[in-house]
Chains A and B, each alone.
Chain A
Amino acid sequence: MLSDEKIKFLGLKANEIRRTVIETLVNAGSGHTAGSLGTADVFAYLFFHALNHDPKKPDWSERDRLIVSNGHICPVLYATLAHASYFPVKNLIGSLRKFGSPFQGHPQRDFLPVLENSSGPLGEGLAQAVGMVLAEKIDSGGETSNGGFASKFFFCILSDAELQEGSTWEAIMLAAKEQLGNLIAIVDRNKIQIDGFTEKIMPLEPLREKWETFNWHTAEINGHDFQELDEAILAAKTFHLKPSVIIAHTIPGKGVKEFENKPEWHGKVPNKEEGRQALEQLK
């Protein structure tokens, strides 16, 4: 159980992250607003509670890994890393999507080495996460005393629409076959994609049953509720021989009424006035 204080703290962090997302996107003039705002609570929860990491030692080999498969939501990743002290927030605000900046339009490790992976094209991150866990499994020589094989966990954030990529399901099958208990996928179930609502473009439901049938442990939660997130992650960690997926229902554009649940905000950014109004709502 998260304490009330912790929940309040995470809420404040998520709000700071959302504000930074708006500021960077207004300056960038292009980018992805809806998914970045929608996953701010998940990112705040991971970086300020769940992940075992040390911003002072980003190369620490025992850190938990976070693979962001849907690289287009990098404004929230960059903002969270900044608020978690990987680099100063002021470095980020004016330089997202600017030439020579560490904050490339989609994440790139050569430009920003604290990233675990460079990404952008959809349907690839889960395979990379599966590979990481497989390497860990080989190194551990199999099982450890707690029934799992590793002391660290591998989180992979995916968009819901990238489940339309067949390659994602190749990775899903392999993770189940190899019993990768230390793998926890979090699907940002915001039900929108560039061309419209997922259930109209290419229906994903029944989504939980699909993962279940592929032999994963599944959970379905409100992605804006820190308590539900925490319970789901703690439960996932007890499945040593099954990978876990947490389908996190989120509101795309969360926090700014004008942007919420509107597919057109998937790949659009606020202008200065819209940004000002958004920041008013995120006080």
Chain B
Amino acid sequence: MTNSQTKLKSTRAGFDEGLVLAGEKNERVVALTADLKESVCMSAFAEKFPKRFIEVGVAEQNLAGVASGMAAMGKIPFIGSFAIFSPGRNWEQIRTTICYNNQPVKIVGSHAGLSASLDGGSHQMLEDIALTRVLPNLIVLSPCDAIEAKKMTVAAAEIDKPVYIRLSRAETPIVTSEETPFEIGKAEIFLKKKRSDLSTDLRFNLEDKERSDLKKSEVGIITTGTMVHKALAAAKELSESGINVSVMNLSTIKPLDEKAIIKLAKETGAIVTVEEHQIAGGMGSAVAELLAQNYPVPMEFIGVKNQFGQTGTYEELLNFYGLNVLHIKQAVRRVMKKKG
């Protein structure tokens, strides 16, 4: 899937750089953590802007409420913890003090998905997309690599709304470049047809003329976060067997880029969603809600099936829960059969 030259970096590390950039651009940016400064990658910000960094201790409920109060006084607070604790532990504080009060707090949940791999099921967060995408006013973001996480962090600071950013601890391939467009609310198609010239590090951008070839794809894969590079690898392998698929990086899970998703469904006639999250209530569910009402097509869902996680290496867990390249390829073949 990835060769030795492929650059690996976690999305939390990208956030680290983005937070410092956001802090340099706007002195209203402040950061708060609940005893996880290093793990959530807030150390660089804390070192650079010590007066704008608050440590609240192991108290995630307070983390959310305090940030709401700071935002009410004009600050742009980023609150960081493991996703299991924020938005897990403090969901109601996020709902009431941040979303119901419509305060532009940026909730940063790291170690999402299975990426707290060796810590076991208690620390793995497979329910955060479900928890956050039901909250009015809240924007839900999920970066596909460190570069996108960096851009997303800067963009989140600039939008006057509450935002959730889902981060991973896993070191995954960089699949975008500094030039890849990123805009909150806009989905990007990364791969849509056979590309024998696909670079080994999966780093590519599409020319406009290539976009018109989208209709040649037989299946659209809609994916997000750490699963994007897996979907790209699956697409590449499928293209070698003569199956053309498009891969959409759905980095904004709420609000959905409805136009782009419906367009992909129309052009391919079959959709596979892939996410490192419970299938129930996740990104795939959001896509299904949209397509069921607007353009129903056969779908397959890749995600965790009503199970908790467990201890293992990240790759072991991806294999066990059916979230690897092989499983994506199988889902594509299944959905093609449904399509007839």
Contacts and interface: CB of A to CB of B under 8 A. Distances in A.
Given A131-B68, A134-B70, A171-B65, A124 B51 contact: no
Contacts of A67: 69
A128 B62 contact: no
A119 B101 CA distance: 8
Given A131-B66, A174-B66, A124 B75 contact: no
Interface stretch (A21-29, A110-118, A202-210): A110-118
Interface string B33-70: 00000000000000000011010110101101111111
> By CB atoms of chain A within 10 A, which of B30, B71, B75, B96 has the most?
B96
A118 B69 contact: no
A124 to B, nearest CB: 5
Interface string A47-75: 00000000000000000000100000000
B100 A171 contact: no
Contacts of A108: 100
Interface residues of B, number: 29
Contacts, number: 102
Contacts of A132: 69-70, 72-73
A109 interface: yes
A127 B69 contact: yes
Interface string A143-173: 0000000000000000000000011001101
A118 B57 contact: no
Given A124-B93, A170-B56, A129 B101 contact: no
B74 interface: yes
Contact of B72 (A110, A131, A178): A131
A267 interface: no
Nearest to B61: A167
Given A121-B92, A167-B93, A128 B72 contact: yes
Contacts of A131: 65-73, 77
Interface in B255-284: none
Given A127-B69, A171-B65, 12 more contacts: A108-B100, A109-B101, A118-B101, A127-B62, A128-B65, A128-B68, A132-B69, A134-B66, A134-B69, A135-B69, A135-B74, A170-B56
A156 to B, nearest CB: 10
A138 interface: yes
Nearest to B93: A124
A146 B270 CA distance: 69
B102 interface: yes
Contacts of A121: 92, 96
Contacts of A127: 61-62, 64-66, 68-69, 93, 97
A128 B103 CA distance: 11
Contacts of B51: 138, 141
Nearest to A174: B56
Interface of A: 67, 108-110, 116-121, 123-136, 138-139, 141, 166-167, 170-171, 173-174, 177-178
B100 to A, nearest CB: 5
A138 B75 contact: yes
Contacts of A177: 57
B65 A138 contact: no
Contacts of A126: 65
B178 to A, nearest CB: 32
B56 A135 contact: no
A128 B70 CA distance: 7
Given A130-B69, A135-B70, A135-B73, A124 B96 contact: yes
Interface in B186-212: none
A109 B102 CA distance: 9
A110 B96 CA distance: 13
A173 B59 contact: yes
A229 B56 CA distance: 31
A173 B57 contact: yes
B87 to A, nearest CB: 15
A30 to B, nearest CB: 21
15 contacts: A117-B97, A117-B101, A124-B65, A127-B61, A127-B64, A127-B68, A128-B66, A129-B69, A131-B65, A131-B77, A134-B66, A138-B52, A141-B51, A171-B65, A171-B66
Interface in B109-149: none
A60 to B, nearest CB: 14
B30 A174 contact: no
A176 to B, nearest CB: 12
Contacts of B54: 134, 178
Contacts of B77: 131
A133 B52 CA distance: 13
A119 B96 contact: yes
A126 B97 CA distance: 11
Contacts of B64: 127
Contacts of A171: 62, 65-66
Contacts of B102: 109-110
A118 B103 CA distance: 11
A67 to B, nearest CB: 8
For B74, B77, B101, the residue with the greatest tally of chain A CB atoms inside 10 Å of its CB is B101
A167 B65 contact: yes
A167 B54 CA distance: 17
A67 B75 CA distance: 17
A116 B70 CA distance: 12
A128 B97 contact: yes
A77 to B, nearest CB: 16
Contact of A170 (B52, B61, B68, B73): B61
